[in-house]
Structure 1
């Protein structure tokens, strides 16, 4: 319990330095994160195939971000980055399953958050927020220190185990430490109902509501009578593509109900809503939907298509309406931004920065660089301004791309800019703290780059 005590003392000091005056109302924070929807699966980001009128509305009534990034290229580490504010060179969970030392994990090779990990939900809770999570957790199963009730959530409904989340017609969900029998009803309907209930019941208090919805992650299925499916049922696409598109639109409809409820309850002007996806799409949707356009790479890749994530942010009267921003930020920044919104100082160990000035339409210094690593093929990636460095293996040659002129990362400019390559290599070396569960390989074999 040591870190909990230290956290409480730190937060006590934070209130003294609050950026809000005593009579300022803390805003509600809603963070919607879909599962495996691609950058180009949203109308406002360029999709010509998937209908997302609510995302598009949020982009029109708020800000759309073109250079926003996921925490990682797959589910669990992205959630770890979001919750802890640490990038994947520092955070505890760096892939869905352990690559080494599986005897130190749970029976499935899963690595969960520990008691000493500090989450954004804990800090929001200490700051006076009611905290809720609805959807897929993936950072701690029942009985482990990483379960949401032990990581700052007053309420959580959904899947704790990421494998359990692969079925939408489950016979039970986890609800505040108890099994909720579902009668195999489509799980997203429970999530939508519980989301609206949570908002209604906590409308008079500041709340932090984390909505990691499972749509449109596979298994790709949706009731045939769902209104979203009706939009796509006659498309000349494979059935799985129609289901996938409908699942995104179904989640979008839920966000619309959230916005309508905020207005009905007269808390719209005091609620900031973030709307994004956790990583890039599966490759099977690129052909028909161009889900990763205009990038290369998909889920499990640190190329832009695997980690660039659509993002719209809406807060009437605060976030300027109808603006598109190329400010570079990502999910590591959610923790410090939430602290800024709550009027408290963020813990000093975080890798993120508060992007609240940008959200308000003001200028601010950006990240000097962003770093990612992913154990599959021992990938590392760095973004410095317009430059993207990428390699597979810690001793493999670094490829260098100009994202402004080459978003598909096809023209390697490393030989022309050795000084930038050296910067990238230095950042990669300094940013990677070794993990006993996810060691990175050198990637060299007879001088050839690992593929």
Structure 2
């Protein structure tokens, strides 16, 4: 190590020690911004060329960017469940999108523990803003029963498809947006309401440790925006302009959160993490996929699949003086690591008998290596239940219980273009054994197909929509 590099290392170590010492009497604030459908390829530092994301790009320069950060699985509800509960989708109580009439999704059971409950037990103020989607307010999965003091925004995923809804919820109580009901002046963009409330909540918590789960609906469809801004004169379709503007609005709103932390002098004691909840929602050959080139990283697959393009997320962490600035990591981690990470940062313990599938990332966030583990596992129950497992640099995918296992060498073939299953029967057998071990049977999520109760709820929803 040359003298300049040694000096830089010593300076960073000293700054980190100062920051950690300063936070010894007060654990760090934790903010996790979960963007709905943000793809790696949407963000400038990941290679996006036509959508502007200056604040996320700056956040990456001031923190660490992760190239192999994995979501819980590749659709909304189960991915969020994994993030909140510390369980991968072979153990989690929600493993697919299950719509429940009249409003909401399959709720988290009462026995499930969330990050918010763990942090609340350690004295944190807690809030969820944006979209919850893990149980309506009259169920066991209500965010207000899962450790959150405050809630603002949507609960039901279907409701969250509208950016100009007639109502939102605050602390479980419905309130109207008059401009969207014909009783007020002008349309009201829901994200503006949610952002204002969120910033006010952060300001009110400045003297105590807090946890904010900011589950921003941007840029999920419907692709609606109140102002396409810098994209107004682009020779694109209205949908393309709206999508680009949604991503840039997300970028702006994250920037406002970071600016507020600086104003309140909370920067040095706040971990901020940003990630998407699943891969791109656009098929690469579609007009949207081609324009925004979300597959520009060369990865295969997108939302509702289990190839790398569906699972790897745009993910950035920032904590000045603790998370190394300008670092780019190719080491993998997954959403189910967040709960044990937050618990360690807060000095909190998990309830007796509750076991997380995750590993703490605290040392990794500070600049150390990623934790070692035997495997990463995913399953997804949308149409045909599918599975995937990564062990070392080997990745196996099974697109249905009756389908053969595919095998890829991610080190040599990150695009998963060359199936090596026929040449590596021993590794296929290992993958099969890991898939079996990682999956816990659940009557709601059989690997053989849909649960009858889920089909019944789908039929009820279909009848309701038809009646409208």
TM-score higher than 0.5 here?
A: yes
Q: Aligned match of 1:193 in 189, 193, 196?
A: 196
Q: Post-superposition shift, 1:442?
A: 8.3
Does 2:211 match 1:208?
A: yes
Give the equivalent residue in structure 2 for 1:323: 327
Aligned length: 415
Paired residues for 1:95-244 under 5 Å: 95-97=96-98, 110-183=105-178, 184=180, 185-224=188-227, 229-244=228-243
Q: CA, structure 1 residues 23+329, in 2 after alignment: closer, same or farther (shift >3 Å)?
A: closer
SS at match of 2:153: strand
Residues 31 and 275, structure 1, Cα contact 8 Å, conserved in 2: yes
Moved over 3 A (4+): 19-23, 105-110, 345-348
Give the Cα separation in 2 of the matches to 1:442 and 1:299. Answer: 19
Q: CA deviation at 1:21?
A: 11
Alignment of 1:73-112 (within 5 A): 73-97=74-98, 110-112=105-107
Q: Which runs of 5+ in 2 are unaligned?
A: 1-19, 181-187, 451-468
Contact 1:395 1:442 in 2 (8 A): no
The structure-2 alpha-carbon separation of the partners of 1:238 and 1:23, relative to structure 1 and needing over 3 Å to count, comes to closer
**1:25, distance to aligned residue in structure 2 (A):** 1.6
CA distance, structure 1, for counterparts of residue 23 and residue 303 of structure 2: 45
Distance 2:104 2:152 in 1: 24
TM-score computed with the length of structure 2 as normaliser = 0.85
Q: What residue in structure 1 maps to residue 26 of structure 2?
A: 25
Q: Which runs of 5 or more residues in structure 1 are unaligned?
A: 1-18, 99-104, 444-451
The SS at the match of 1:273 is: strand
**Distance apart, 1:107 and its partner CA:** 5.2
- SS at 1:396's partner residue? coil
1:104-157: CA deviation from partner (whole Å, max 9, x where unpaired): x65579421121111110111011000011000000112111111011000000
- Residue 396 of structure 1 is matched in structure 2 by 403
Cα separation, 1, equivalents of 2:23 and 2:61: 32
Scaled by the length of structure 1, what TM-score is found? 0.88
Give the structure 1 partner of residue 290 of structure 2. Answer: 287
Q: 1:136 to 1:109 in 2, by over 3 A?
A: closer
Measured in 2, the distance between the counterparts of 1:57 and 1:246 equals 18
**Structure 1 match to 2:308:** 304
Q: What residue is the counterpart of 1:102 in the other structure?
A: none
Q: Do structure 1's residue 383 and structure 2's residue 378 form an aligned pair? A: no
Structure 1 partner of 2:447 = 440
Distance 1:327 1:172, change over 3 A: same
Aligned equivalent of 1:13: none
Partners in 2 of 1:178 and 1:222 — Cα distance? 25
Whether the 8 Å CA contact 2:74–2:380 is kept in 1: the answer is yes
C-alpha separation between the residues in 1 aligned to 2:221 and 2:43? 18
Alpha-carbon distance change, 109 to 222 in structure 1, aligned in 2, over 3 angstroms = closer
1:396, distance to aligned residue in structure 2 (A): 2.2
In structure 2, how many angstroms separate the alpha carbons of the residues matched to 1:200 and 1:22? 19
* 1:310 match: secondary structure: strand
**Alignment partner, residue 54 of structure 1:** 55
Whole-angstrom distance in 2 between the partners of 1:260 and 1:107: 39
Query: 1:3-52 deviations in whole A, cap 9, x for unaligned?
Result: xxxxxxxxxxxxxxxx9999532000000011011111111111112211
Q: How far off is 1:96 after superposition?
A: 0.9
- 8 Å Cα contact 2:90-2:377 kept in structure 1: yes
Q: CA deviation at 1:171?
A: 1.5
In structure 1, C-alpha distance between the alignment counterparts of 2:23 and 2:449, rounded to whole Å: 54
* CA displacement at 1:407 relative to structure 2: 2.0
SS in 1 for 2:200: helix
Q: CA deviation at 1:193?
A: 0.6
